[in-house]
Every structure is written in C-alpha cells, then in structure tokens.
Amino acid sequence: MKFSALILSAAVAALAAAPAFAADLTVVFPDAAAEGRIMVAVFDSAEAYQAGRPVKAAQLDAAAGETRITFDDLPDGDYAVRAFHDLNADARMNTNPFGMPTEPFAFSNNAVGNMGPASWDRARFPAAGSVEQTITLK
C-alpha cells in the first residue's frame, strides 16, 4: 500500500470513530417568574437520570430575566432535562414537611411523574442537530 493511501485510510478510520455532535440543545422557560435562579440539569441515559448525574448543568439568573440556555456540542442521542426554579436562591429545591416540592419544577417534554419525578421514558427526547425544549415550570 502506498504511503498516501495509508494516510488516507487512517484519516477515514479516524473520522468514522469520531463522535457525531448535535449543533445545540436549547432549553426555554417562557413563563418563569423574574426572581431567583432556574437550575437546569441535562441527562444522557436512564442510568444517569436515575442517579442524578447530569452530563451538563447550568443556572439561569431568572431575576435578571434569563429564561433560555443553550448546551452546545452534545453527542447525538437521547436526553432528558430536569429543572427547578430556586425562588429564594438557596441552591436547593425546598420541600414541605411531607417532602413535596414547594418551588416550581419541570421536566423535558413537560412530562409529569406519578408520586415522584417524571420517568426517563416520559422525559426522554432525541437530540440531533438543533433541538429546542420549551418547559413550563409548575
């Protein structure tokens, strides 16, 4: 095999092994109150979702009017988003004595849970190219 053909073959193999990237994932919270912070976590598998291990996380300054975030260069695949509106900016989701959240929260696809968080299957969405999730915090 000629040297140039060997280099070309190696380059093609490297491109085939390179991960495919989505252009971006934009998450929008259109009805968020202008106070506190919105905490956003992005998960790339059911296991990570269940364990609370996001691949990306961010805080939006809702008091300053931030209600949109873009996560760039995520590998193509399935994702789910969890978010809550930290109204008092104490960096945790506040709950009542029974463990029920007292601050607004939501999931991608505006999925709802049954006596707990929405399941991965309900919150999961495919991401390839530019994807936008509009989520209503409740």
pTM, whole model, 2 decimals? 0.83
For residue 14, pLDDT over 60 is answered with: no
Tokens encoding 113? 């849970």
**SS3 call for 10:** helix
Top CATH class of 20-134 equals mainly beta
DSSP string over 51-69: HT--SEEEEEEGGGT--EE
- Looking at residue 119, its pLDDT comes to 98
Tokens encoding 67? 């209600």
- pLDDT band per the 50, 70, 90 thresholds, residue 5: very low
What does the alpha-carbon distance between residue 98 and residue 117 come to, in Å, rounded to a whole number? 15
For residue 116, pLDDT over 70 is answered with: yes
User: Of 4-18, 81-95, 101-115, which gets the smallest average pLDDT?
Assistant: 4-18
Range 60-67 contact pairs with CB under 8 angstroms and sequence separation of 24 or more: 60/29, 60/32, 61/37, 62/29, 62/32, 62/33, 62/34, 62/35, 62/36, 62/37, 62/38, 63/34, 63/35, 63/36, 63/37, 63/89, 65/34, 66/38, 67/28, 67/29, 67/30, 67/32, 67/38
Q: Taking a C-beta distance cutoff of 8 angstroms, is the pair 39, 88 a contact?
A: no
Between 6 and 59, whose confidence is greater? 59
pLDDT, tens only, 54-90: 999 999 999 999 999 999 999 999 999 999 999 999 9
- pLDDT band per the 50, 70, 90 thresholds, residue 22: low
- Looking at residue 11, its pLDDT comes to 42
- pLDDT band per the 50, 70, 90 thresholds, residue 115: confident
What does the alpha-carbon distance between residue 26 and residue 111 come to, in Å, rounded to a whole number? 17
What does the alpha-carbon distance between residue 39 and residue 106 come to, in Å, rounded to a whole number? 10
- pLDDT band per the 50, 70, 90 thresholds, residue 104: very high
